Amino acid sequence: MPPPVTTDTALRRSTLAIVMGGGAGTRLFPLTKDRAKPAVPLAGKYRLVDIPISNCINSGVRQVFVLTQYNSMSLNRHIARTYKFDQFTRGFVEVLAAQQTPDGERWYQGTADAVRQNLRYFIENDYDYYLILSGDQLYRMDFRDVMQQHIKSGAELTIATLPVNERDAKSFGLMRADADGQIREFVEKPKDPEVLKAFRMSPETLKELELDVDEPRYQASMGIYVFNRQTLIECLDNDHMDFGKHIIPTAIRDRKVFTYNFQGYWEDIGTIRSFFEANLDLCKLVPQYDFFDSLAPIFTHARFLPATKINGATIREALLSDGCIITDAHVETAVVGIRSIVESGTTLREVIIMGADYYAGAAGTDPGRPAPGIGHNCRIERTIIDKNVHVGDNTVITPHGKPENMDHELYCIRDGIVVIPKDTVIPAGTWI
């Protein structure tokens, strides 16, 4: 009889992680105009895809595919430069973009369809478990805990869930599990109060999770799944397009599907507002998500930039990335990305600057184009400034007095937040 499979062995040798890169990312437009959603910059120096990949690496999962189909160039480049394992391990992180094959010529039609179209690559090695993750979430999870429970319970499929309140529950797929954690029922974004009431977590489960038993809580799907090998193959032997809408409800009826109750910070960064708020929360004195955790670091591309230089400035609750130069500016609740230049007299309040890919005069750049950076005496509020943007002197950018959503040749407004697209040049004296 072979030795029992331990959690560490399952992770190191028998688990393949599949990160879903998403579709066109229309809710994050214009940040996704020229890049895939997982490649959107985060917290000044990272990319969204660094979160799930780092969680995998910190958990011992070293075989990772990232599925994408839109604007995958920058994502390909980032992954190729960042995640390099030595030749003596089985580790890899690779992008699988949608492609025409003898089996099909269509784009991915959903999360399940994306995995199905690439299933032949996933099963050609002897993986026993498949960890399916989203590419646009901010969280820290030790997948060894998930795998330990998955193996111990004898589950065919484990779904990570998050306890949410009644207001948020209406926006999620909800699970109802029995005392052993086996999921018995699933409903997608319920609006009926009676249906919602039936999915309340039991007082026993709330006590076990050390939550207030008097406040209604619901088990919301996080879009994180662990499949056994044969279970995944059989669940995809159909034309169902989406895991959340089609595969999961069907699997619950005739398979052993268990919940993994996650407790901790988790944010689905799928909209401009959620992206904006999650980034600015990182600037707080005690943020909900901690990038300073040395036991579970978040990895990204090492650029070897110089230290940030500050030539006199007032800075409060801000993240300053590598290679910036800030001169006599006022920066308050802001994320300042790599290679950002902020000139004197400028005020930034609730601003995300994604930085630049180059400095002024860099080889190969257009000598006639103004250099990226924020000019003198500018006032910018509640704004996301994408990469390589030039903001001329004496410019004002604010959403106050404007519609919640609008489009302009120089900017967009989404959910009351101004977004300046990548490579835009804002002329001096512009009032937005």
Residue type, 363: A
Percent of the chain scored above 90 by pLDDT? Answer: 71
- The residue whose two tokens read 């809408």 is 245
Which pair of tokens denotes residue 287?
A: 């943020």
The Cα 156–Cα 209 span in angstroms is 24
Strands (E), 83-166: 92-97, 129-134, 137-139, 157-164
Q: Find the helix or strand (DSSP H, E) in which 228 lies.
A: strand 218-228
Q: Are residues 326 and 222 in the same domain?
A: no
**Which of 118-122, 261-265, 366-370, 396-400: highest mean pLDDT?**
396-400
The Cα 284–Cα 268 span in angstroms is 19
Q: Are residues 323 and 228 in the same domain?
A: no
Bridge partner residues of 318 (DSSP):
334
Residue type, 271: T
Q: Are residues 235 and 274 in the same domain?
A: yes
For range 387-391, the mean pLDDT: 97
Q: Is residue 1 part of a domain?
A: no
The Cα 57–Cα 19 span in angstroms is 13
**For residue 242, how far is the Cα from the chain centroid?**
19
Residue 10 has pLDDT above 70, yes or no: no
- Model pLDDT, residue 208: 87
Bridge partner residues of 174 (DSSP):
187, 220
For range 329-337, the mean pLDDT: 98
Q: How confident is the model at residue 1 (pLDDT cuts 50, 70, 90)?
A: very low
Q: Is residue 40 part of a domain?
A: yes
- The residue whose two tokens read 């478990």 is 129
Q: Are residues 263 and 328 in the same domain?
A: no
Number of separate domains in the chain: 2
- Model pLDDT, residue 189: 86
For range 321-327, the mean pLDDT: 97
Residue 101 has pLDDT above 50, yes or no: yes
CB 121 within 8 A of CB 130: no
Q: Of 42-51, 293-302, 356-365, where does mean pLDDT reach its minimum?
A: 356-365
Q: Are residues 146 and 227 in the same domain?
A: yes
- Model pLDDT, residue 242: 87
Q: Are residues 167 and 234 in the same domain?
A: yes
Residue 309 has pLDDT above 70, yes or no: yes
Q: Is residue 13 part of a domain?
A: yes
**CATH code, 333:** 2.160.10.10
The Cα 350–Cα 369 span in angstroms is 27
Q: Is residue 302 part of a domain?
A: no
Exposure pattern of 220-231 as b/e (b: 16+ CB <10 Å)? Answer: bbbbbbbbbbeb
Residue 100 has pLDDT above 80, yes or no: no
For range 338-358, the mean pLDDT: 97
Q: How confident is the model at residue 2 (pLDDT cuts 50, 70, 90)?
A: very low
**CATH code, 180:** 3.90.550.10
Q: How confident is the model at residue 6 (pLDDT cuts 50, 70, 90)?
A: low
Percent of the chain scored above 70 by pLDDT? Answer: 94
Q: Is residue 86 part of a domain?
A: yes
CB 65 within 8 A of CB 16: yes
Residue 382 has pLDDT above 90, yes or no: yes
Q: Is residue 226 part of a domain?
A: yes
Strand-pair category, 325-336 with 390-391: unpaired
Q: How confident is the model at residue 109 (pLDDT cuts 50, 70, 90)?
A: confident
Q: Are residues 256 and 314 in the same domain?
A: no
Q: Are residues 85 and 210 in the same domain?
A: yes
- Model pLDDT, residue 90: 81
Residue 262 has pLDDT above 90, yes or no: yes
SS3 content of the chain, % helix, strand, coil (to 5): 25, 30, 45
Residue 71 has pLDDT above 90, yes or no: no
Q: Is residue 98 part of a domain?
A: yes
Q: Is residue 338 part of a domain?
A: yes
- Model pLDDT, residue 55: 97
Q: Of 198-202, 222-226, 308-312, 352-356, where does mean pLDDT reach its minimum?
A: 198-202
Q: Give tens-digit pLDDT for 394-423.
A: 999 999 999 999 999 999 999 999 999 999
Q: Are residues 56 and 197 in the same domain?
A: yes
For range 23-45, the mean pLDDT: 88
The Cα 415–Cα 425 span in angstroms is 23
The Cα 429–Cα 396 span in angstroms is 8
For range 104-127, the mean pLDDT: 83
- Residue with the bigger pLDDT between 133 and 206: it is 133
Q: What is the DSSP letter of 392?
A: -
Question: Which range of residues forms the domain containing residue 407?
Answer: 309-426
- Model pLDDT, residue 340: 98
- Model pLDDT, residue 179: 87
* pTM for this predicted structure: 0.93
For range 212-217, the mean pLDDT: 88
Residue 388 has pLDDT above 70, yes or no: yes
